[in-house]
Structure 1
């Protein structure tokens, strides 16, 4: 489970696009806290403080205590809007959570021990199929990350969710199949060698059959059978 981070906030009294623009002009980031069967709470955030959290890996799987006017709200980040030109943070959505809440959360995948993978040493290409995995869990059971150990993996190997160490209390949202998390693909050079070898093997296998079908060079053609069979004299 990831540690709970603290964020300070201030209340804002108005909603709407005009109020949000006024908040940004004042140097703050508008945000909202919703959920847990309570009324939404409109807040503003210090841009430097919230950006430090937003740009950390696994932000959407991080529990936050947002303190507003002496009251702490345990929340999970749900959405962040950015300016398409400046990448400035424009708005943040938080969901209130309690210990009994079941939530869907995307947890980042972290690869370990790349140097211990023989397949990578031979030039294999690491393909991270899923950079994040969606889990269903309670707030207290959110994994900080999912680690995939590459030790001993050869070219062509793949790691599926069934062989990944999933923390207790967390269940993959995809339950109907053993999906792939990472693979080690063959590099182009090895693929070319394999294709050439297959082609050569196919040619060699076809050659004897072709030779048996053709008559020997210089051999007399086979005599045609007599029409009507032998006649008695």
Structure 2
């Protein structure tokens, strides 16, 4: 299950663009907690803490226990906005997580056994089709990742979602096909043209011989006699 982290927020009274700009001038970022059958709750968060969490990675797949004035609730970030010029956070949305509920998440794929993969040992390359898989997962048991084992894959083999053991309660949102996660592609070999190789060899042989002497220069033309 994904690690649950803590986050502190404060309730926000004002809404709208003017109130949001005022919050940002104070070094905080406006946000909202919604869903779970309860009313939306406007909040603010510390800019430095939120900026660090966003750029640390996996922000949208991390569960937080958010403390708003002493009242704690479990949430997951669903979206955030960045300044198009400064890349600084402007707003963040959190979804409430209720026990027994499910939600749609992107779960990263971790690949193992590269060193024992027959296809890679023969010079093939791992071609990753999907770095993450969209799933319906329990709100209180979101997986950190799913594991894709390469141990039996040979050149031109494919790894499909059906070959991956999914955590309990997790199902891919795409159910109508056994989609591909990765393939092992053959080594890149450039076929040599025999005719071109023979021509190149002949050119090399000629180039190795001494160059013929240059033809003797034509005698210089005599200067015209000066007029008296």
Q: What displacement does 1:57 show?
A: 4.1
Structure-2 residue corresponding to 1:142: 142
The DSSP-based 3-state class of the residue aligned with 2:140 is: helix
Alignment check: 8 A CA contact 2:100 2:140 kept = no
Provide Cα deviations, 1:120-166, integer angstroms capped at 9, x if missing partner. 23332222111111111221231110111222322212110000110
The DSSP-based 3-state class of the residue aligned with 1:140 is: coil
Structure-2 residue corresponding to 1:54: 54
Q: TM-score, normalised by structure 2?
A: 0.78
Structure-2 residue corresponding to 1:25: 25
CA RMSD of aligned residues (A): 1.9
Q: In 1, distance between residues paired with 2:38 and 2:96?
A: 9
Structure-2 residue corresponding to 1:174: 174
Alignment check: 8 A CA contact 1:30 1:45 kept = yes
Alignment check: 8 A CA contact 1:125 1:184 kept = yes
The DSSP-based 3-state class of the residue aligned with 2:21 is: helix
Structure-2 residue corresponding to 1:227: none
Q: In 2, distance between residues paired with 1:90 and 1:119?
A: 46
Alignment check: 8 A CA contact 2:109 2:145 kept = yes
Alignment check: 8 A CA contact 2:28 2:44 kept = yes
Alignment check: 8 A CA contact 1:32 1:92 kept = yes
The DSSP-based 3-state class of the residue aligned with 1:116 is: coil
Structure with the largest fraction of helix: 1
Alignment check: 8 A CA contact 2:63 2:74 kept = yes
Distance 1:114 1:51, change over 3 A: farther
Structure-1 residue corresponding to 2:211: none
**Stretches of structure 2 lacking an aligned partner (at least 5 in a row):** 194-228
Q: How does 1:116-127 map to 2 (within 5 A)?
A: 116-127=116-127
- Whether 1:153 aligns to 2:185 is no
Q: TM-score, normalised by structure 1?
A: 0.77
Q: What displacement does 1:73 show?
A: 1.8
Stretches (4+) displaced over 4 A: none
Q: How does 1:72-111 map to 2 (within 5 A)?
A: 72-111=72-111
Q: What displacement does 1:95 show?
A: 0.6
Alignment check: 8 A CA contact 2:51 2:88 kept = no
Alignment check: 8 A CA contact 1:126 1:185 kept = yes
How many residues end up aligned between the 2 structures? 193
Structure-1 residue corresponding to 2:208: none
Q: What displacement does 1:176 show?
A: 0.9
